[in-house]
Structure 1
């Protein structure tokens, strides 16, 4: 903690202590404290002091609104001379972050009074909707939220109401999923997490694919989320068409993990784009059936292949490994590279600066790791739209929490900052300027219009 932070905290403590002391010394709270000590008044929970303060404050505000509307104070002797008059009140239950509050909402004789403090038809106040959406984004189910609100703040909200509150953000999700995009992304990463979705009368696994684009400034953006309906080129053709319709005119490199039909869809939409297999995914596939005792040796033997200066050198290294005793003992490792060879070798044509950028989809995998923690609490999703909604909310929630942590450390020296950086949205790709310079040499005609 810096000296400035300490001084600011001490200043707040002094001010709050002084205010509390003046209020206590005035004696206005003595009767209240006595009732609290005797158990006659409780601070929180159902019918607690906090709820009663909310009730009193809201009803006082509603009476002030009605006074302004009818033109006279309550009990005014000249009330009969006004065109409109008070007409008692009606009960209304509103849910707040302190629990359910029973209000007496005043009304007028003409029926023209419309409250602003507690609008007609509104049953929830005090940021309760935001709390529910935040709990949902954190991975809690509708049933969990219902129980949590009832057990913590004594607010009874039905599952149907909670579902409606969460569904209200569907328009925001749709707007985000269809927002215009940049015309050019040098690199796009694509990866997926597996979720369970109900389809008709059956629950099955589906892949929720997340695309992250790197713009000319090296800043990462989540371009969209797609739940894969069917395997193959048809699905990926629809995804590429959607990106093109949202404004993407060209992509240099798309880094992904060997998806069926994806290279064909990319080549049909952006003919000059390269589809690069994620090298880390390829290594994992190659190591999948290697025995524990040989893992270190195989991993070391694979390095000369993916660190080779060019495709010919890599092919020679792979042939040498295949002919060795280690390669003969692990034919699956050799086959993994051979099967992915055409989508692996574009990586070898680039200098080290570009290789570091397209070597792996780890940037998006770290996001997927956070999202899996959110989705694991659910047995399954009712439909594809529910998957997209939760993942979008979770991404927003993760970024907001990290931004809040960074804000608390603003002004501290870099060595004292421990808050996590941006996860994806708005993060800057490491060594991007060097990579962009090399890409400009490799693709001068395609990059020059966007410089």
Structure 2
């Protein structure tokens, strides 16, 4: 389809801005844009502009019908164009994001189950009216759950992922009439073509060796091949599971977390220069250079009474923190930390904070899975981080 040029009714938009609150303004802008988009879609389908006479005409305009689109900002009433023979169909509703559907559905579940928090109930009623039935929630669930399930179980043997990032975040879920913490395990990667991807997720109990082991086994069951490097924080159970499930894979300890951990153990005063020396150990590009800087640091401050704990930690974790230096220089900046995964977690948190307490584990799986699906599509459209690995 060619690019659509939109001509918005600015007088109508101005009236909304001058006489509405911020949410109404936002909704009005979206309604105007979507209505105009659908209008241009119909023009393109007909192959003529309004009031234009042409032998190339495909059909005739036949007014509009109203249709509701539910989004995370509320219910939008749209004017959907029609044609005489009924063959025209807009793609606006197909482009409605899965994560918005999941967000709405999770909030609906909270109302139906009577576990709404803060102003969630008010927001849901603004979005969906005064009544929300269990059958309505079930209908939406039946449509969305298989989509998320299919994505999270898709085969992973079509690509090779040399670098994998893993982390866990905690959420609150209602279970057996109690609010409990659940761990959400997430795996992302850089595949051999140089782009990021999201491999999968799992909602489970506390972060442990057994849980990480099961998560890795599920990824391998979907065809994941042994990577060259797995990057994560220093959770003991995670590290043990990596060693158990990925024989021959090196483990890279996130350098950002490692440096923070070392600096936290230092005195608070007059250590600016010492901090800089410590950070510089990880700024070089080969293991040999890093090791020499580390040895120099240890030798220089070995007799410092307040740095003994820091030196011991540096010695213990050094080799795990420089594994990325054995990889090509062009990927060092991308694989030495879990920063990319941390940023993804922040986006998940942005959605999760509104819900605060999920009504059940499946609801959390659905919402977070839908958000991850959308981000996976964004990754696929971006340029490569590096050339083919």
* TM-score past 0.5 threshold: yes
Query: Alpha-carbon deviations, 1:335-370, whole Å to 9, x = none?
Result: 443442342242343453232231112122111111
Correspondence for 1:307 among 260, 280, 283: 283
Matched residue, 1:156? 130
Q: Distance in 2 between matches of 1:429 and 1:331?
A: 43
Pick from 343, 349, 364 the counterpart of residue 387 of structure 1.
364
TM-score w.r.t. length of structure 2? 0.64
2:195 pairs with one of 219, 236, 246: 219
Question: 1:141: which partner in 2?
Answer: 107
The answer to whether the Cα contact below 8 Å between 2:105 and 2:141 also exists between their aligned partners in 1 is no
Q: Does 1:377 align with 2:354?
A: yes
What is the CA distance between 1:279 and its match in structure 2? 0.7
Distance 1:329 1:426, change over 3 A: farther
Residue 318 of structure 2 corresponds to: 341
CA contact (8 A) 2:153 2:222 kept: yes
Is 2:169–2:185's contact at 8 Å kept on the other side of the alignment?
Answer: yes
In the alignment, the residues of structure 2 paired with residue 299 and residue 206 of structure 1 have an alpha-carbon distance, to the nearest angstrom, of 36
CA pair 220-158 structure 1, distance change in 2 beyond 3 A: same
Residue aligning to 1:237: 213
Q: CA deviation at 1:318?
A: 4.4
Cα displacement string for residues 127-178 of structure 1 (whole angstroms, at most 9, x for unaligned residues): 69x69962643897334676446436x7334153453244221222221111
Structure 1 spans left out of the alignment, 5+ residues? 18-93, 102-116, 118-125, 401-421, 437-451
Structure of higher CA gyration radius: 1
**Could you give the per-residue CA deviations for residues 393-439 of structure 1, whole angstroms, max 9, x where no partner exists?**
22345678xxxxxxxxxxxxxxxxxxxxx4x4554453344xx2xxx
Distance 1:385 1:337 in 2: 42
In the alignment, what sits opposite 2:223? 247
Which of 361, 368, 371 is residue 338 of structure 2 equivalent to? Answer: 361
Q: Which residue number in structure 2 is paired with residue 431 of structure 1? A: 386
Q: Secondary structure at the residue paired with 1:249?
A: coil
SS in structure 1 at match of 2:161: strand
After TM superposition, give the deviation of residue 200 of structure 1 in Å: 3.9
User: 1:271 and 2:247 equivalent?
Assistant: yes
- Residue 189 of structure 1 and its aligned partner are, at CA, apart by 1.0
- Post-superposition shift, 1:275? 1.1
Deviation at 1:219, TM superposition (A): 1.7
Q: Structure 1 residues 140, 333: CA separation in 2 closer, same or farther (over 3 Å shift)?
A: farther
Paired position in structure 1 for 2:170: 194
Q: Which residue of 1 aligns with 2:37?
A: none
Matches within 5 A, 1:250-261: 250-261=226-237
Indicate the RMSD between aligned Cα atoms, in angstroms.
Answer: 4.0
Return the alpha-carbon distance in structure 1 between the equivalents of residues 214 and 278 of structure 2.
Answer: 36
